[in-house]
Amino acid sequence: MPDFQKLDTTIPVAPLKLVVMDSARELGDSINKDLIDIRKHKHHMPKDEITFKGYLQEDYRLKFSTDRFDSGEAKATLLESARGQDIYLITDVMNHSISYQMYGFTNYKSPDDHYQDMKRVIGAIAGIAKRINIIMPFMYESRQHKRSGRESLDCAVMIRELKDMGIANFITFDAHDPRVANSAPLGGFDSFLASYQFLKALLYNIDDLIVDKEHLTV
């Protein structure tokens, strides 16, 4: 059972909305389901107070579309208002299963494609929402956090670019080097370690995994 003590002593920033990109559909749907379950059945807040307006919803997912043209170009369109909402955008830039048509050929989205789609959605929401937060489990271009030669600083550029677009918080897991947050030091940045979750997944899903000093190294 979650600990609701902090929820009982805080006021929401704004009504919460999830922006679930196609690349993170399974994760986003799971979060939405848990939110509905917790707020409907496990935790109750005052319904009539203006500060809790929108706390209880039937669906926390914001409706939008990312249409792609035959030329390969794309656009994002909001199908409902995001005005005054506390937005949590969820994306998985490493999902290589999403396809689209370009000049009659089937293409699969790369991390660059997912990142551009995310920026398109942010561009449609920015200036309207109360706050925008990014949840990106695998950090885009995380290994390009410093220069080892005449090369680009893609990860730092991403953080700076998102900050300039109005992002309040960036949430990721096991960032290659969390110090990349220095590219936008006044913005919120959280990198959570997922070591326990990795070990748990290994132990639960690999039947012939032998955990002893003869088969593992630390």
Residue 105's CATH number: 3.40.50.2020
Q: Would you say residue 216 lies in a domain?
A: no
Least-confidence region, from 28-37, 136-145, 154-163:
136-145
Q: Would you say residue 214 lies in a domain?
A: no
- pLDDT tens-digit map of 140-157: 998 876 778 888 889 999
Give the structural domain span for 29. 5-205
Which has more pLDDT, 218 or 139? 139
Banded pLDDT at 159 (limits 50, 70, 90)? very high
Angle at 147 between CA 144 and CA 149, to 5 degrees: 120
For residue 1, what pLDDT is reported? 58
Q: What is the mean pLDDT of residues 154-165?
A: 94
- pLDDT tens-digit map of 85-106: 999 999 999 999 999 999 889 9
Q: Would you say residue 211 lies in a domain?
A: no
Query: How many structural domains compose the chain?
Result: 1
pTM here is 0.88
Q: Would you say residue 165 lies in a domain?
A: yes
Q: Would you say residue 215 lies in a domain?
A: no
Q: What is the mean pLDDT of residues 70-78?
A: 93
For residue 104, what pLDDT is reported? 86
Q: Which two tokens stand for residue 64?
A: 């939008």
- Are the C-beta atoms of residues 129 and 84 closer than 8 Å to each other? yes
- Residue in 85, 68, 67, 94 with CA at minimum distance from that of residue 19: 85
- pLDDT tens-digit map of 180-197: 988 899 999 999 998 898
